[in-house]
Structures are given as C-alpha cells and as structure tokens.
Amino acid sequence: MKLIVAILFAFMAQGAAAQAWPSKPVRIVVPFPPGGTADLLSRLTAEKLGASFGQQFIVENRAGAGGNLAAEFVARAEPDGHTLLLSPPGPIAMNKLLYKSMPFDSSKWVPISEVASVPYVLAVRNGLASDVKGLVTKAKASPGKITYASPGAGTVGHLAAKQFEMLAGIELVTVPYKGLAPALKDIVGGHVDLIFDTATTSLPLHSGKQVEIIATGGSERSPAIPNVPTMAESGLPGFRAVTWYAVVAPDGTPQALADKISKDLVEVAKDPAVAEAIRTKLQMDPIGMSNADAAKLFVDDAKLWAKVIQEAKVSLD
C-alpha cells in the first residue's frame, strides 16, 4: 500500500512540474558561436516560446570540443526543464562514435523534439560533372584524382563524402579545411572538385551559378531545387546525409515534463510564422517532431553513421 501511495505521489509531482513549466528563465544552450544556423534557429525558437509563456528564454552559446563542451554543461544541469540543448547530431548521436573518451553519456539524453532539418547536397565545381553517374565514371577512370573539401573531421560533410566513396566504389582525395567558408571559396574558385554541404549555404551559390548542385542527400527531393535528384535516385540507394537540429534535456528529466516541453516545441515549429521564417531565412525544413519520434531518429542516425565511421576508420582522438 505504501509503495502504491509513493508511486501516486511521484506521478502527481511529475504532473505538477510539467504544469508549472516554465517557472523561471529557460536556457537554451547552443554548441556553436553566435550567428550560425543553430544559433539563429535557437533564437527564433526562444523568441516564440518567450512570447507564448511570458517568460525569458535565453540562448547561451558554448562552443568547443565538437559540441561536447555545451553538451557536458547541459548534461550536468538540474533536470527540471530549464536548461536544454539545441544541437545538430554531433553531441546527441554522433560524437560518441568519434571520440574514445566522452565527458557525458549521450545515451542518457531525454529526447524532446526535432525542430528543423536540412539535407546535405553534393555541390561540384563548374564543369566537373552534370550528374552523379558522370562524376562516378570520371572518378573510376582516374582513381585518387578527384578531390573533395572536408570542412572538418567528423562533420556530416566529411562523413557524407566517405559514405559516397563506399557506396560508389570510388577513391577521392581529402582536402581538409578549418571551417566551411574557406572550403566553399575553393570550390567556387575551381581549386577543389566537390563538397557535401547543407542546402542552406550551397543553394545561393548554385542559384548564382558559382557551383552546381547535382544531387541531394535527403529521402525526397528538395522543394527549393525540385529538378535535382536525390543521391538514391542517382544510383546510390541507401545514401542519406541530412543534418537536423533537435532539443534534448538532461538525464532524470521527468517524462511528463519532457512530454509537455515536446508538445510546446512542436507547436512552435508548426506555427505558420515560425515555419515560414525557418524556410525563408534559414533555408531549412520546419519539423516539429514528438519526443518518441525524436528518440527513434537519434538511434537510426547513430546506426547510419556508425557504419560509415567504422568502415572509414574515422576517429577524433
């Protein structure tokens, strides 16, 4: 009887915590400096949440260690829903595959929601190839001659290129860069052959005829470039390269509270004004995914990239 009463009180406490959220300012921690896609998406989300609840939602930037610095801070925070992480896949699902030593256990994140996503695209220098088939033929005819720009070891752009090599049976030459901007500059200048980049940053270059996007990494064609096929349609079934931005909470966050925050974030992502801003200002797809679906996404992506990381022997330690 005492056990039943204790369980009932525990459920009542969870429900009360969920109803009270937010009872104080909420920190949305971003693992990158101000001005980037994750930061802008976070500020857009925070602004709408603040207006809805009449409470402060503060975006806090903690860059470093491939996102692990910010993630460790959130993982150690009080699990009361007032410190959340908004991040791309790295510290949520991928870094555990790349680093031998992690300062937190990413398997213990409490999923909240996927807010938005954007497919990676295969962008090539002008004149290289008009489609994936032609590019693969050229790469097979000249093994070790086609170069690709890597914006950073272990990034989705780097791993997408490795996935392309494995599925196409080709060998590319890695040209490493410290960041995306110099990598794109050399693609535009014709010094490097190709890059896997988000549609957000490559679409303007494609529209300006500075590079050519010949395929996209999503399961469906991008509405922004409907005439460009997916990698799967281009002869590489199973290829997937999409980056997403999701919110997670620290281990120990009550399920009822996670459910409530998830519901609130889904409403934000599906708000017409917010969704339009995500599409037009960030060139991303608004999602608004339940916490259950987000949990499945994290597991599926970890499986996808684990295979690539293991076969390509990628490590950041």
Residue 140 shares a structural domain with residue 276: no
pLDDT for residue 17: 53
pLDDT in tens, 46-105: 999 999 999 999 999 999 888 999 999 999 999 999 999 999 999 999 999 999 899 999
Cβ-based neighbour number of residue 40 at 10 Å: 19
Residue 64 shares a structural domain with residue 52: yes
Residue 104 shares a structural domain with residue 250: yes
Only one residue has tokens 């303007």, namely 204
Domain extent at residue 146: 119-216
Residue 207 shares a structural domain with residue 132: yes
Would 254 be classed as within a structural domain? yes
Residue 105 shares a structural domain with residue 124: no
Closest C-alpha to 257, from 158, 153, 110: 110
pLDDT in tens, 212-251: 999 999 999 998 899 999 999 999 999 999 999 999 999 9
Residue 106 shares a structural domain with residue 189: no
Residue 101 shares a structural domain with residue 157: no
CA distance 250 to 106: 10
Residue 247 shares a structural domain with residue 114: yes
Would 181 be classed as within a structural domain? yes
Q: How far is CA 262 from CA 106, 168, 208, in A?
A: 19, 39, 39
What's 27's domain CATH number? 3.40.190.150
What's 149's domain CATH number? 3.40.190.10
Closest C-alpha to 29, from 39, 37, 44: 39
Number of domains in the chain: 2
Would 230 be classed as within a structural domain? no
Spatial contact of 89 and 301, defined as CB atoms under 8 Å apart: yes
Residue 201 shares a structural domain with residue 259: no
pLDDT in tens, 157-175: 999 999 999 999 999 999 9
Q: How far is Cα of residue 115 from the mean position of the Cα atoms in its chain? A: 10
* DSSP codes of every residue in the chain: -HHHHHHHHHHHHHHHHHHH--SS-EEEEESS-TTSHHHHHHHHHHHHHHHHHTS-EEEEE---GGGHHHHHHHHTS-SSSSEEEEE-HIIIIIHHHH-SS-SS-GGG-EEEEEEEEEEEEEEEETTS-SSHHHHHHHHHHSTTT-EEEESSTTSHHHHHHHHHHHHHT---EEEE-SSHHHHHHHHHTTSS-EEEEEHHHHHHHHHTTSEEEEEE-SSS--TTSTTSPBTTTTT-TT---EEEEEEEE-TT--HHHHHHHHHHHHHHHHSHHHHHHHHHHH--EE----HHHHHHHHHHHHHHHHHHHHHHT----
Cβ-based neighbour number of residue 43 at 10 Å: 17
Spatial contact of 124 and 193, defined as CB atoms under 8 Å apart: yes
Residue 78 shares a structural domain with residue 165: no
pLDDT in tens, 257-298: 999 999 999 999 999 999 999 998 888 999 999 999 999 999
CA distance 135 to 214: 9
pLDDT for residue 6: 40
